[in-house]
Amino acid sequence: MKYILEHTCLQLCWTDLIFLAILAAAIVIIYKKLNKLKEQQAELEKQLSAVDGANTSWPEAEEAAQPKEDSSGTKKEMLFDD
């Protein structure tokens, strides 16, 4: 068997076959992990869209949009927070 592997047109050594098997196993593991992560991402995006649909109002954003009063008691529009 060693003679056949060493004298083929591919010039393979017996260690090459071991490394090819390890490489194939690594590719399969990575492929499965990526599919699992894509499924998890889709699930999390679905949960996030459900949360965003429930919270249509943000109190902090509403407070920032309200005009602020200065020391004289008049309201003025603030573009930037002090």
Q: Give residue-wise pLDDT tens across range 46-64.
A: 988 888 776 655 555 556 5
Residue 7 token pair = 């004298």
Sequence ranges of the domains in the chain:
15-42
* CA–CA gap between residue 18 and residue 12 (Å, rounded): 11
Q: What is the pTM of this model?
A: 0.49
Which of the two residues, 61 and 7, has the higher pLDDT score?
Answer: 7
Residue 61 token pair = 């954003």
